Structure formats: structure tokens, C-alpha cells
Amino acid sequence: MIDTRTRKGKEITNLPESNSKHFTPGLGRNLNDFLQSLGEVLIDITALEVNTMVVERITGDKFIAWEAYRDIYPISRQYLEQQEIHESLRDRYIDLRKTMELEYTLLLSDPKSEFYDQSILDSAKEDNQILTNPTVELHEMQTRLPDPIRPTSPEEIFKAQALLHDYRFLRSLRKLSELKAALDSRNKALLRKQDELPGNVKPDVLHKAVTTDMIYAQTVLQLDGEVINRYSQEIFDHPHREMLLQIHRDGVIAGQKQWRGLLEFIIDLVQATLQRGSSKPKGQG
């Protein structure tokens, strides 16, 4: 399967400089925060990533932030075992949980974030393994995320609520939730296939036998012009390989145009709302 860890995870040292909280007069606080967050989206962009998945059925799952958070938070080795997640998929679930922890730790260590906590960076190195050690095991690190299932205090619930209002965290959560949904479906399909096939089936045989609910192809178009194509191993054995590749190529071309439309809309809107005059450069507020 393709590694879909969020790209943002790699950019610990590359936090944007220009999005310090300044206030533009004449705008309400709501509007100011909103424009700021739109600006942050634009600054965070490093590449366009197009993923093509084959699924057994399209579900109209709605993204509900709290639900997604509540479902990813408890992930651990024991939990996955309890939930009867197929062994071959467990590492991928763990990765989702680690990415979520990383996103939160980045917020805690970002002086510009409202979640900034000075003590995070002062604390012992072992506590910050998620920031420094990419291979850290989930059980070796201590989670800082507010507990949505068994909160110890009302503050913890408020903290979780506040976190789910943070645009950056939400964007990442959305992607994690999308990946988790695919993993959940794949898990079901794998378990079903396992029951169908006689005897003890090797995981790689099983993965070949189940052709749905996975990302087959991924194309990353970086802003510097570099293009990276990744294909899952399984695509080479897929009965409709050519078709799938063709659809992916079409999806990449279409994706670029679709995304450009969305971006142009946002950029225009931010510019037109902040602009001081047609000929002058953008005001500094």
C-alpha cells in the first residue's frame, strides 16, 4: 500500500513566518480570524496530491470532527487487537494516531498558535519523541491530546472542543478520517476474504486477493515542479490495471484544474477583501 502520511509532518522546521496574529482595522474579529485562516491554508500549501482509490462501495459518510477525533484517539496495539483489525493493517492505523499526535504537538510548540505551551519545548527530550523520532512506538510516548472518551475534567472537554475548532488541526483530521475510513473498509474486506479462503492464508496472498478499498495510485505535484508518482504493489496484479491507471491520469489532470479553481477563488476573495486600492500594494493592516 502507498504511504500516505501527511506531507505536513515533515515540515517541523518550516513553520510559516508571516502569519503572526495581526489585526486589520475595520474588520470584525470573526472576519479577521477567518481571513487569517484562509491565508494560513495558502501558506501551508506545498504540493497537490491526487489519490485514486478503488472502493467496494461509496459511502456517503459525513465528516464530523468530534466523531473522527473520538475514533482515532483510542488507537493503540491493544485497541486494534480488541477491534479485530487485521494484523497487516495495524501499523497503518498506528501511523494515523501518531500523525494526529504530531499535529497537536506542533500546535503546542508553535508560539503563534493559541495552544502554545512553553513547557513543551523545555520538557525532557523523551517527552517530545513524536517531534524528533520518526520511528517512535506509540506506547513509548506519552499522549498530550485531550481525552474525548474518558475526560478527567470539564477543561479537557473544552480543550478538545477548542482543538476541533483549529483550522489546521481540522484539515489534518479530515485527511486522517478519510484514510481511516478506507482502512476500515479494507479491514472488513480482508477479514471476509480470510474466512472464505481455506486454511492459513499469508497476508500478502490475502492482500492480493482483496482488490478494493485501497489507494492504488498517488501523484504528488510539488510547487517546485517536481512530480512524484507512487503506485501500490497490488496495482500490477489488478485485472483492470490499464483502466485504473488511465482513470488516475485523468483524475490528476482534472484535479489540477479543480484545485486551481478553488484556489483562485480563495485568493481573489482574500485579496479583494483586504485590498486598499487597485494600484496600491496590499495593505499591512
Partner 1 sequence: MGHNFYRQHSQKASDRDGLNLEPYIKVDKEKIARKRFLIHGIRFNLDKDILQKIQQAQHTGRHLHISRELLTDLRYYALLEEDNHLQSGLTFCTYYLRSGSEEALLRSVISADGDIFHQIKSDCLERPNFCRRIASAHYWLIEQLMSQLRLRTLLRLNQLSWGLSLLIVAATVIPFLWPLMAANPWLLLAPVVMCWLLQVVLKRLLRLLSPTITRWALRRVLSGWLSRKPLQKNIAKGILAWLAP
**Residue 244 found at the interface with partner 1 (CB under 8 A):** yes
**Residue 58 found at the interface with partner 1 (CB under 8 A):** yes
Pick the binder of partner 1 from 10, 21, 23, 45 (CB under 8 A).
Answer: 45
For the CA atoms of 29, 62, 249, 229, the dihedral, rounded to the nearest 10 degrees, stands at 70
First to last CA, the chain: 47
**Residue 157 found at the interface with partner 1 (CB under 8 A):** no
For the CA atoms of 6, 100, 179, 140, the dihedral, rounded to the nearest 10 degrees, stands at 100
* Closer by beta carbon to partner 1, 110 or else 178: 178
- Cα(281)–Cα(9) distance, integer angstroms: 33
- Show the binding pattern over residues 1-40: x = contacts partner 1 (CB under 8 A), - = does not: -------------------------xxx-xx--xx-xx--
Pick the binder of partner 1 from 175, 180, 186, 207 (CB under 8 A).
Answer: 175
Closest separation in Å from C-beta 121 to partner 1: 26
* Closer by beta carbon to partner 1, 24 or else 76: 24
Closest separation in Å from C-beta 260 to partner 1: 8
- Cα(122)–Cα(120) distance, integer angstroms: 5
Q: Which stretch binds partner 1 (CB under 8 A): 43-51, 93-101, 104-112, 141-149?
A: 43-51
Q: Residue 233: beta bridge partners?
A: none
Burial of 191 (0-12, 13-18, 19+ CB in 10 A): middle
Closest separation in Å from C-beta 68 to partner 1: 10
Q: How far is CA 95 from CA 89, 200, 252, in A?
A: 10, 27, 26
Q: Residue 221: beta bridge partners?
A: 48, 227
Instruction: Report the residue count for the chain.
Output: 285
- Cα(87)–Cα(82) distance, integer angstroms: 11
Closest separation in Å from C-beta 47 to partner 1: 6
Contact 55, 213 (CB under 8 A): yes
Residues at the site binding partner 1, with contacts judged by CB under 8 A: 26-28, 30-31, 34-35, 37-38, 41, 44-58, 60, 62-63, 65, 165, 167, 170-171, 173-175, 178, 211-212, 240, 243-244, 246-248, 250-251, 254-255, 257-266, 268-269, 272-278
